Structures are given as structure tokens and as C-alpha cells.
A = this chain, B = another copy of it.
Amino acid sequence: MPHADSSLVPPEIKSKAEFWAHVLEQLTALIEGQRNWISNLANASALIYNSLLAFEQFGAESRAVNWCGFYLESQLFPISSPDADLLLLGPFCGKPACQFIRAEKGKGVCADAFVSREVVIVDDVNAYPGHIACDGDTNSEIVLPIIHRDHAIGVLDLDCLAISGFDEADRVGLQAIVILLAKACDWPKFSM
């Protein structure tokens, strides 16, 4: 099967629970045999993004997901002066995005999810204190922290063009995906 077809959504899938179980299964197959986080997160963001666009029950056109990707601890990146308080842009699908986020409470949804280590669902980003508008078309957002050996090492961030684009079923489905990714990749600087 061509890899692109992993983001097709079979017509018999109707509920969000079935959808997320399907995406998790496809992701498991897609990243099998590879443990570097760059390739795995690149394919994960593409799979989630394109599967959501192909799933009518989620929302299309004016209700579509418009960004899906990762920000990660600067210590994971090949740079000379990593700064533990900085999250750097990782693989994503969507329009160009902020290159970094300061990992301090109050510096936006990604920063808050990372610092609190809790999933944050925002129904209306324009009403969120400290929101960083990488894309003025975004109206709602969900951010999940990625936890490895008790360290927060990054976040998975999804944006939606609609108000209240994400709900509890998305939280549960995406939570299983970040747990898989944390386990399926090597995180060199956090393995001691």
C-alpha cells in the first residue's frame, strides 16, 4: 500500500472513537522499525492532519483542522546552546508557524500545556490569555504534552478553523497517540 493511503478513512468509520482507533493503528504501522523522532513525528503530523481532513464527521472547509504538529524541548535539537525553557518547532503540516515558544506559563496554549503537563482544549483562542496567533484563521486549539520518563519533552498541537473544534473524544484519541509516540521514539538527551 502506498504510504499516502494510510490517511484514507474507510467509509464504515462513523464515530470519533472508531476514527482515533483507526489512526492509532495506521500510525503504529507507519513508524514501525524507525525510532528517530524526526521521521516519526513528521509522518505522525501528516497522518493526523490528513486523516482529519478526510473524516467528514470531524469537519471540512470552514470547520477543518488547519495545523497539526509538534514543538519540542530545545535540548532534543542539534544546536550549540540549548535553552531548557525553549520549545522549538518540530515537524508539522499546515501553514508556516512560529519557530519557537517560550515555555513559561502565560505564554500561550502550547506553553501552558507543557508547563502544567495537562491537556489544554481551547474553544475560542481569541479569548485565551497570552494566545500566540501564528495563524489569524485559527479559532480553536488542543495541545497535549508529551511525557517521557517523567520529563515533559514537547507538545502535540492541533488548530481548527471552527470555534470549539475539539472535544473530549479528540482528547482521548490524541492522548493515545502521544503515549505511542513517546514510547516509539528515542529521546537521546532524556534517557538517563
Chain A residues packing against B (C-beta within 8 Å) = 2-7, 30-31, 33-39, 42-43, 46-47, 50, 69, 76-80, 88-100, 133-137, 186, 188
Residues of B within 8 A of A133 (CB): 2
* Complex partner residue of A34 from B36, B39, B91, B100, CB under 8 angstroms: B100
Q: Are B4 and A42 in contact (CB under 8 A)?
A: no
Inter-subunit contact A79/B135 (CB<8 Å): no
6 A-B contact pairs sorted by A residue (CB < 8 Å): A33-B99, A36-B88, A38-B91, A43-B96, A80-B186, A91-B92
Contact A96 B47, CB 8 Å, known A2-B135, A2-B136, A134-B3: yes
Whether A89 and B42, one on each chain, are in contact in the complex, defined by CB atoms closer than 8 angstroms, is yes
How far is A186 from B82 in the complex, measured between Cα atoms in Å? 14
The reply to whether A4 and B97 contact each other, CB–CB distance below 8 Å, is: yes
Q: Which residues of B contact A4 (CB under 8 A)?
A: 94-97, 134-137
A152–chain B nearest beta-carbon distance, Å: 18
Q: Is the beta-carbon distance between B46 and A97 smaller than 8 angstroms?
A: yes
| A94-B46 contact in complex given A36-B88, A99-B30, A136-B5, C-beta closer than 8 Å | yes
B2 x A77 contact (CB < 8 A): no
A89 with B2: CB separation less than 8 A: no
Residue in B31, B50, B95 whose beta carbon sits within 8 Å of that of A46 in the complex: B95
Is A96's CB under 8 angstroms from B3's CB? yes
| The residue from B6, B80, B134, B136 contacting A96, defined by CB atoms under 8 A apart | B6
Instruction: State whether B3 touches A97 (Cβ < 8 A).
Output: yes
Q: Which chain B positions have C-beta within 8 A of A135?
A: 2-5
In the complex, are the beta carbons of A186 and B78 less than 8 A apart? Answer: yes
Q: How far is the CA of A47 from the CA of B94 in the complex (A)?
A: 9
Q: Which residue of B lies closest to A32 (CB)?
A: B99
CB-defined contacts of A100 to chain B, threshold 8 Å: 34, 39
